[in-house]
A and B are shown apart, each in its own frame.
Chain A
Amino acid sequence: MSASSEASNLNAPKDFSGILVKKHLIAFFIDTLLWSYTALVSWKVIYEKVILGLRYPKFDWSQPQTALLVGALIALVLYFTSASLGRAITGLLKRDESKPVMRETYTFLVLFVVFLTFVAGIRISQVSVTEFLSESGLHGAKRIFTALINPNWGIIEDATFAAIETIYMAFIATIVALPMAFVLAFFAARNLMSGSRLTMAIYTTVRFVLNVSRSIEPLVWAIIFSVWVGIGPFAGMLALCLHSVSSLSKLYSEQIENVSNGPIEAMMATGAHPVQVIWFGVVPQIVLPYLSFTIYRWDINVRMATVIGLVGGGGIGTMLMQYQGLAKWNEVGMLVIVIAVIVWLMDWLSSRIREAIK
């Protein structure tokens, strides 16, 4: 549109210098971070741990500060050379298009930092081939594997009952989470909430709470709830439920953000109430994806319920934990088989249902 291009042309020169300064700051910040990281890792891990072989090198906070200072100095020195990654990323570095990216100086720099991280990573993870292939270790592994492939079929009844408990627990967690996620999703959908400042504030708050509760693992929630309501399936159910609410809300709200605007506009044009606009303009577009997500979530919850059982969330996970603690590997083998069968069944069932309702 001619009017809009005119307007943007008028605004362009005014904003340009500001954007340029911001770009330089970001570029320098990236360079500083990169060099400080390189300095710190080379010094603390490569030099002290690998070369000097120190197990517990001394640490105090002046060391990262020194690294930051060194990094900033190197970044400053190299800022106007072609080794400045920050300028390359922000597009400030005018590069020769005919030269392949792989031959640029900053590419070598990036590869070097990745290599450095790799070396440091091996040292920190205490990777050891001798431990992996030691005689006593191999012997122990062989004993467990032999027991696992000779499962104790005598406990199949108990194992199945525990598995059923797990499936029901996951089902209830999903069903209880569903209506809560359904409602929350509307508040977490940007396109519905961008109307006024108040709704935007609600959107931001809901999103924040959901993100925080989702970033805490269900395992941690299970520990919290097992203290709260006592060890057992209920604690596991609550943990799964909470996590399901936040995950489903996010998936649902993304679905709402992707709906086509046409039916919404049409419903508004009929003079419908906002609730009717959502019910007739939005809901029919999201029902099937919702159903699909929910079934998939149940599937995930069954798998998670097993893990949660390990910390006392009830079901087959708790049973697994008990037998493992007693080193009864034949029983553990039986449980592993039951879990595998359930996970496989749920996976198959949920993909079949999701296929059918597409």
Chain B
Amino acid sequence: MILDIKKVNKVYPNGCRALNNVSFNVKKGEFLVIIGLSGSGKSTMLRCLNRLHDVTDGEIVFEGQDITKLKGKAMRNARARIGMIFQHFNLIPRKTVMTNVLSGTLSRTGVFKSILGVYSEEDKKKAQDYIKIVGLEGKENARADNLSGGQQQRVAIARALMQDPKVLLADEPVASLDPATSHSVMQYLKKVNEELGVTIICNLHFLSLVRQYASRVVALKGGQLIYEGNPLDIDENWFKTIYGEEAVEVTIN
């Protein structure tokens, strides 16, 4: 078990209750997918795991340590061990692919060194390798914001891998991509999961993708955990419980 989420609650300052007593755990090496409607608390859940948001109460135990109370350097260390990719890629605009990938090493590069752009030879070599792994060899010096959506998401994956993450959080990584590119990005995540042994926690919309890639699924509705189990066990009834009576399943191929 790599992550243990214990009775987590999150109430935003405006009074919105995004997470309500959510408990589940994440096993080492699995590909866990979180599903649910927009506004069900999926994004908030992921952001609580790496402290982009602070939980209101509850515990998140990551590698044997409760990370919800960490501050400063200790919190940044925990963040560094958890990579994250986003729906809108969130690359640094106007910078090259190489600079973007190297920004994954910020937590172990000194502030002044990073501002001057001085990275260790080892990190540069590693960045080169990861760029190769995500299939962007030769694009090192291209401006990241000139790449296609799928390529940008792969740069983001390489950046996250630079952190040597134990866990990779993916917040709707394919929601702004076309179906073909979606599969390609999901394949890369699968490769990261299987070949590099990184645990993946991924928010997804499409059940067809969930069945294809997830090793386990949890479902959130209105901030509460309502399903936990095998992706292949989600039948018509469960689907309607999670997405509402009127929902019709859409597949993407």
- Chain A interface (Cβ within 8 Å of chain B)? 1-4, 7-8, 11, 262-263, 265-273, 275-276, 279-281, 284-285, 287-288
Contact = CB atoms under 8 A, between A and B. Distances in A.
A263 B93 contact: yes
Interface residues of B, number: 41
A269 B14 contact: no
Contact of B103 (A1, A2, A267, A273): A267
Nearest to B17: A3
A8 B111 contact: no
Which A-B residue pairs are the 10 nearest by beta carbons? Answer: A271-B80, A271-B107, A262-B90, A271-B79, A272-B106, A266-B90, A4-B16, A269-B84, A7-B15, A3-B17
B115 interface: yes
Contacts of B77: 271
A284 B94 contact: yes
A4 B115 CA distance: 42
Given A267-B103, A269-B83, A271-B76, A276 B111 contact: yes
Contacts of A271: 76-81, 106-107, 163
Contacts of B159: 266, 270
A265 B53 CA distance: 10
A285 B83 CA distance: 23
Contacts of A267: 92, 103, 106
Main secondary structure of the interface of A (DSSP, over half): helix
A285 B95 CA distance: 10
Contact of B76 (A262, A272, A280): A272
A284 B93 contact: yes
B22 to A, nearest CB: 14
A206 B165 CA distance: 40
Contacts of B169: 269
A273 B72 CA distance: 9
Interface in B63-84: 76-84
A355 to B, nearest CB: 18
18 contacts: A1-B16, A1-B18, A1-B39, A3-B18, A4-B15, A7-B14, A7-B17, A8-B15, A262-B88, A263-B91, A268-B79, A269-B83, A269-B169, A270-B103, A270-B160, A271-B78, A272-B107, A288-B94
A102 to B, nearest CB: 40
Contacts of B115: 275-276, 279
A203 to B, nearest CB: 18
B224 to A, nearest CB: 10
B52 interface: yes
Given A3-B223, A4-B16, A270 B163 contact: yes
